[in-house]
Structure 1
Amino acid sequence: MSATTQTLSDKSSLENGDESYELSKDKIFHLLQTQRRRYALRYLKEQDGPVEMRDLAEQVAAWENDTTVQALASNERQRVYIALYQSHLPKLDNEDIIDYNQSRGIVKRGPLADQFDPYLELNDTTSDELSDTEDKIDSDRWFRYYRWVTAMSAGTFAAVWLNVPIISSAPIQTLGAMTVGLYAFISSAQFALR
């Protein structure tokens, strides 16, 4: 059976009320590859029934711009509205994931929307993984600072050892105190910013 025939028969079974059709993970991931589609499906999941496309677009724009619906700029709303109207919602509608009445501007979850729900939530495992990633990025940043101070300290003491005129004339106690002070400053900043 060809992929086209399978798609046609799957569509006809959905039209006849058979909602047991399972999308492949490849299909699900393909449809979820766009953040706007994920946001749209998440918004629809949070609503009890049909929503106006304008409200959906505003909330998606707010999430994209990390702000509230009230604080959105006109161009931020318009950019998201147009992309949803022309591309993302029709694509989801064609796959029976949503029911989109473009002429009335009404959107609701379709028969296959439930299959996307597990991918729309940040469960405890995912948020732990995100937290671990953020911690790793933070520790990498501080490691970089320590590495630079170590390089500067080594360079300073190499300059003293090689008798570089300006640096070698400074007392060794002063250079040592400056090195310890730099490490103390970075350690204090790291502790204070946690």
Structure 2
Amino acid sequence: MTSTSESLARSSNAPSTEPSADEPMDLSRDDIFHILQTARRRETVTYLLGEDEPVKMGDVAEHVAARENETTVAKLTSTQRQRVYIPLYQSHLPKLDEVGAIEYDKPAGIVYPTERLEAFRPYLEVGNADARATGSTAEQSLPSDVATTGLYYLLATTVSVCLLLAAVAGLVAIPGLALGVIITVLFVLTTIATTRVRRTAPLPHAR
């Protein structure tokens, strides 16, 4: 009969199937979507994915502020910096630290990207691919506007040339002044028509 002490010794030597308290759990899709639901956190994660070394919290805030205001870091105003710096400092970076995506030394203002940050990359790449696809579709709609206006002017030019040739050949009896007025009116109407086309053409998808 096996003694109780021997049983305990065997069980203590067996590998544990329970996760260690120090071992981080994998991020769930809900965790990832929760982090990426705000634009500032998405931009922060995107920026940190491109960094291999610890970065200053101020550098992160300036990058996010520049993207948010569609400008460069050098052209940011102090108000634009503060508007992003404070929420990042108080909320967004601590949230990323909470799920283990970064290690955030708040007193020192240093952000350390971790391996868990890579869990976000596939979701951001899918979002960027969708944005590029939407942008390319919008860009493809622009040539139709140009083609339509070009067609109008081509028709106006063709009609004008035909009238001039017919008048020179004596096929139509149109005085020179009247012919000039007809051609002028024709191009004025063409300009009005093309202006209306440009106004009603779909605009590129806003970012």
TM bin, normalised by shorter chain, reads: 0.5 to 0.7
Partners of 2:20 and 2:91 lie apart in 1 by 22
What letter corresponds to residue 52 of structure 1 in structure 2? K
Paired residues for 1:28-177 under 5 Å: 28-121=32-125, 126-133=131-138, 135=140, 177=186
- 65 and 180 in structure 1: CA distance in 2 versus 1, 3 angstrom threshold: closer
How far residue 109 of structure 1 moved from its aligned partner, in angstroms, is 1.3
What is the Cα-based RMSD across aligned positions, in Å? 3.5
How far residue 17 of structure 1 moved from its aligned partner, in angstroms, is 3.7
TM-score of the aligned structures, taking structure 2 as reference length: 0.58
Tell me the equivalent position of 1:16. 22
Identity %: 41
SS at match of 2:119: helix
Tell me the equivalent position of 1:167. none
Structure 1: gaps spanning 5 or more residues: 1-11, 147-172
Partners of 2:191 and 2:76 lie apart in 1 by 46
- 184 and 126 in structure 1: CA distance in 2 versus 1, 3 angstrom threshold: closer
TM-score of the aligned structures, taking structure 1 as reference length: 0.61
What letter corresponds to residue 47 of structure 2 in structure 1? Y
- Deviations along 1:108-161, whole A, 9 cap, x unmatched? 21242110012233655641233214545x589x6xxx9xxxxxxxxxxxxxxx
Which of 30, 43, 50 in structure 2 is aligned with 1:26? Answer: 30
Structure 2: gaps spanning 5 or more residues: 1-17, 150-181, 201-207
How far residue 65 of structure 1 moved from its aligned partner, in angstroms, is 1.0
Matched, 1:183 2:193: yes
- 120 and 186 in structure 1: CA distance in 2 versus 1, 3 angstrom threshold: same
* Aligned residue pair count: 146
Partners of 1:66 and 1:48 lie apart in 2 by 25
